[in-house]
Amino acid sequence: MSTATIDDKGKGHHVFDRAHWQDRLDGLRSRYHVPGAALAVLVDGEIHELVSGVLHRDTGVRVTADSVFQSGSIAKVYTATLVMQLVDSGRLRLDSRVVDVLPDFSVADDEVTKTVTVGQLLSHTSGIGGEFTHDTGRGDDCLARYVEACADVGQDCPPGTIVSYCSTGYAILGRIVEVITGQTWDDALRDRLLAPLGLAHSMTLPEEALRFRVAMSHVGELEDEPEPAPVWDMLPRSAGPYGRVLVTAGDVVRFARMHLEGGLAPDGTRVLSARSAATMRERVADCRDPWSFMANGWGHGWALYDWDGVTGYGHDGAVVGQFSYLRVVPESGVVAALLTNGGSATSFFVDLFQELLGELAGVRLPDAFAPPEEPRTVDVGALAGTYEREGVRITISERDGAPRVRLELTGGVAQYSPPIESDLVPVSDSVLAMPGIGPVSAPWLPLVFGTLPDRTPYVYFGMRASPKIS
């Protein structure tokens, strides 16, 4: 809890009760079988860093404030910031066509190859197959080779129609950064963003992370105590721009504070123009799935939230066994980041941040997605069929009058999980709930059905559109 005071200008201040929040962090972490967690909070201009648990269950090494975690998709906001720095320099525009910067770029759809823009990649509205995980080696040419391999990547949906979360697009953006700056994406991030902000415990490569205390991923069923994963990192180097910035919780908050301050570093250095900082959180499109990322809209990099009229922005991240959460509430100047290394991390995050942001920022995050206590009856036949996108095949069927799903990972991500079959619980005529699976960390996962502008049925899973193919 915190104690609020009011200054002579009517602005609220809070005395951060460190002992209380440490107690809540410890208690909720244990309740949800999370091995280790790091929390950082910016309130009234001061950053508070709290930790709990262990980095690795087998070694028992404790989490410390300088411990490094995998941030997963929070990396996308870092890449988006680099792109907007190039917009500031006049060397790139949001409406620049990708092919004008990368002449050899192509995807399977010739028209998309010719027309897709930087802004569409930033806002996840390109429709390009978003789960193209492709290992192109450890060399500095990994992103160049990745973009070459995109030639066979299809569309999840037509460009500019809906938000369909696209990691592929951020790898392409990483290559754009390389071509314009003449640096690798890793070096550009370090020199143009991490160093100016003094983020000494943020990096991109495993060999850099080994200088510090590093969190190990843990995996297992949500109701069990997770075990250390067989390997620390399953992502190839080419995944960096969309999935691998290695961070402390404090450094994540310091990065977000720059955005909160309109692009200024604490020492007054301008890292990003105020206009570009604002552009990144301007709404480009609404989210038809408000549960998977707990967002109702997307900007040019940031996920956007509306908490009963109070707006905010942030991002979530997940890699196998590590889950991260970042929320910014501009109205109150509060920023909070939570990094975890396994367990029922989503429930942990929701319970903790509902209390934390409620107390410090006066907002309440929505509850985690779950079906109603009394499930509805739906016409399963109207939803049944096979839906497919890059990396995933989803089959909806009926058994004993109840909906059922078979989820198969394909292509470059097939190694991450065997096929999963599960009963589904109806939420509405267009939403079904799937029980959570360990690699995702949430107790329930939504499948949201809709129709594209060309009348093709689709299903959202993980806020990625999979068109119906049969």
DSSP state of 191: I
How distant, in Å, are the alpha carbons of 109, 227, 321 from that of 231? 36, 12, 10
Give the residue from 270, 246, 147, 112 showing the smallest Cα distance to 197.
270
Q: Catalogue the E-assigned strands of 271-383.
A: 285-286, 297-298, 303-307, 310-319, 322-329, 334-340
Query: Is the Cα torsion angle 156, 122, 447, 286 positive or negative in sign?
Result: negative
SS3 at position 170: helix
Phi, psi of 363 (to 5 degrees): -125, 155
Q: Which residues contact 282 (CB under 8 A, 6 or more apart)?
A: 299, 300
Residue 262 has a CB neighbour count (10 Å cut-off) of: 14
Return the structure tokens found at 40.
Answer: 């950082």
Beta bridge partners of 444: 435
Q: How far is CA 365 from the centre of its chain?
A: 17
Distance (Å, whole) CA 342 – CA 218: 5
Q: Is residue 276 annotated as part of the catalytic site, yes or no? A: no
Distance (Å, whole) CA 277 – CA 300: 10
- Annotate 246-259 with b (16+ C-beta within 10 A) or e (fewer): bbbbbbbbbbbbbb
Task: Give the chain's count of helices (H) and strands (E).
Answer: 14, 23
SS3 at position 216: coil
Distance (Å, whole) CA 197 – CA 157: 38
Question: Which of 2, 67, 73, 292 is an active site residue?
Answer: 73
Question: Which residue carries 């991240």 as its tokens?
Answer: 317
Distance (Å, whole) CA 364 – CA 361: 9
Q: Which residues contact 53 (CB under 8 A, 6 or more apart)?
A: 26, 29, 34, 35, 36, 37, 62, 63
Distance (Å, whole) CA 176 – CA 144: 9
Return the structure tokens found at 32.
Answer: 């949800």
How distant, in Å, are the alpha carbons of 51, 222, 284 from that of 164? 34, 27, 13
- Catalytic residue positions, numbered: 73
